[in-house]
Structure 1
Amino acid sequence: MSLKLTGITQGYGRTNAIERFNLELTPGVVGLLGPNGAGKTTLLRTMATIMPPRTGTIALNGVVIDGERAARRARRDIGYLPQRFGFDPGMRVVDFVRYAAWMRGLPAERWDDAAERALIQVDLVEQRRTRMRRLSGGMLQRAGIAWAIAGDPSLVLLDEPTVGLDPRQRLQFRRLVAGLHGAVVVLSTHHIEDVDAICDRVVVLHRGRPTFAGTAAELAALSRDDLPGDTDLERAYMNLLPSQEQRL
């Protein structure tokens, strides 16, 4: 499994949110950090083939996604959880996750197993027949994570997946992501402790451009004692921001 972005420029209207972005990913967990407006969500939507890039190319497993037909094929291998995902409020949780398996092109005889496995991973088996509208905020977020991992996609894109999760559920989420062997997982988050705990690599974005790409240890080495933060990783992240944004 590999994902390669070459010279990606992306935006809305006349504004570019991402400019000349290059990134090559192999199996493992990549943390995507950056302040609000840095372009993280735009980058994930581009990786998910929801937004064709304005310039540049995306290649999944060496195959360039050069049109809608290629994008539809690629989506069978992509699990994407946006910050705000849509659902039918009257749909049962298990059917919501089975629908994800259908969307990924799994044969019908595998839908139930794929949904059951995903619900086990996010600890929602007891709520499998609950209507989506009756889920708490944390349960709804876990249902979204189950959607993203159902059918074992090889590229998993998660935009702020731990919002609404309590500390126990966040620890469970970390174990879940660490167990997605063989997949490329891109985790966009503001929780630097999650990045420290589970990410093999870190990419820091600022105004649509990467200011850092490397391991968490390499990022932590950029820490400065005079900057705000409770850990080396937090202080290193602050060090990558412009001076006017380093003040709390």
Structure 2
Amino acid sequence: MQLQVNNLCKNFKENMAVNHVSFTLEKGIYGLLGANGAGKTTLMRMLCTLVTPTSGTVQYDDEDIQDMDERYRRIIGYLPQEFGYYPGFSAEDYLLYIAALKGLKPIIARKRVNELLDIVSLTKVRRKKIKTFSGGMKRRLGIAQAVLNDPDILILDEPTSGLDPKERIRFRSLISHIAKERIILLSTHIVSDLESIAKEILIMKDGSIIAQGDMKKLLSKVSGKTWCCLSDSKEAEELRSTYLFSNEKICGEKVELRIISETKPSPSAIQTEPTLEDLFIYYFGEVNEIANFEI
């Protein structure tokens, strides 16, 4: 089982949203990490055949997905950032409706819906209207509709956007549970969603994949470049204006800054082990700017 992306490009007039992207995915969970506007959604929509590439190809087991047409759509599940639902439908009725659209036989659909409602912990509210659901419940329902057809490939675009930490933990557990025997590509700008579950991470910036690999390989990029500095307010202000920093904490009269720098940023700086958040700031942060990430 392989999904092969070959020199994929997408132009919107003068804007190159996806710029000569190539990679291969096999069974497992992959993270697509990037700041907002990096091109992640456009790339994922091309993988789902919702957007036609300007050039390049996407192949599933050496067959072009455009040629596969309906056969490809039967083996793919997709959760967009905002998925469509009918607020007056119950969770159960909505999933049965989507199952009918996907061509599942009624007996199979009923069994599958029951299984998925249990997996996403919505069995107790199966007959409640979706308009009464919290954001986390709606995202779990979205995941259920994406996997109704037991897809070989699951594409999830910013699935935890707007969720609280408890709901994000529940989501990661759910994705790990359904990850067997399928390719899962998860797009996010929230780095904590990827640290514990992703087999590999692809980092996308300005339409291009600028780095790819497992955590150990990627973190080697910032090995020896992360520092912990405990400073007074005046020195902290100078450090903020000079260096990239991924965290700041007030410690009594002192300020603790986590800094990414090729060289030791201050005499008192102590070198520390890098995290995925440090890597994100290394690629996407700017001095004097609060980057789009969560701590």
TM-score (norm 2): 0.77
User: Which residue in the other structure is 1:96 paired with?
Assistant: 94
Name the CA distance, whole Å, in 1 between partners of 2:80 and 2:287.
Answer: 26
Trace 1:70-219 onto structure 2 (pairs within 5 A). Answer: 70-179=68-177, 180-219=179-218
- State how far apart, in whole Å, the 1-side matches of 2:120 and 2:52 are: 31
Amino acid at match of 1:198: I
Q: Which residue of 241, 264, 280 maps to 1:237?
A: 280
Tell me, in whole angstroms, the C-alpha distance in 2 between the residues paired with 1:106 and 1:13. 40
Q: In 2, Cα distance between the equivalents of 1:18 and 1:100?
A: 31
The alpha-carbon deviation at position 245 of structure 1 amounts to 6.5
3-state DSSP of counterpart to 2:170:
helix
Quick check: 1:160–1:189 contact (8 Å CA) kept in 2?
yes
1:245–1:71 CA distance, 2 compared to 1 (3 A): farther
After superposition, the C-alpha distances for 1:133-187 in whole angstroms (9 at most, x for unaligned) are: 2222221121111111223211111111112333332222111111220111111
Q: Structure 1 159/75 Cα, relative in aligned 2: closer, same or farther at 3 Å?
A: same
Shift in Å, 1:118: 1.6
Aligned-pair CA distance for 1:34: 0.7
Gaps of at least 5 residues in structure 2 are 228-243, 248-273, 291-295
Q: How far does residue 246 in structure 1 lie from its aligned partner after superposition?
A: 8.2
Task: Tell me if structure 2 keeps the 8 A contact 1:79–1:157.
Answer: yes
Q: Give the number of the structure with larger relative contact order, counting CA–CA contacts within 8 Å between residues 6 or more apart.
A: 1
Partners of 1:245 and 1:123 lie apart in 2 by: 43
Q: Which has the higher strand share?
A: 2
Does the CA-based 8 Å contact 2:74-2:149 persist in structure 1?
Answer: no
**Letter paired with 2:103:** G
Query: Please, which runs of 5 or more residues in structure 1 have no aligned partner?
Result: none
Aligned residues, how many? 245
Q: Aligned in 2, Cα 1:80/1:210: closer, same or farther, shift over 3 Å?
A: same
Partner AA of 2:245 in structure 1: P
SS in 2 for 1:221: helix
Q: 1:128 to 1:240 in 2, by over 3 A?
A: same
Query: Alpha carbon RMSD of aligned pairs, Å?
Result: 1.9
- 2:65 aligns with 65
Three-state SS of the structure 2 residue aligned to 1:35 is coil
**Larger-gyration structure (1/2):** 2
Q: Residue 38 of structure 1: CA displacement?
A: 0.3
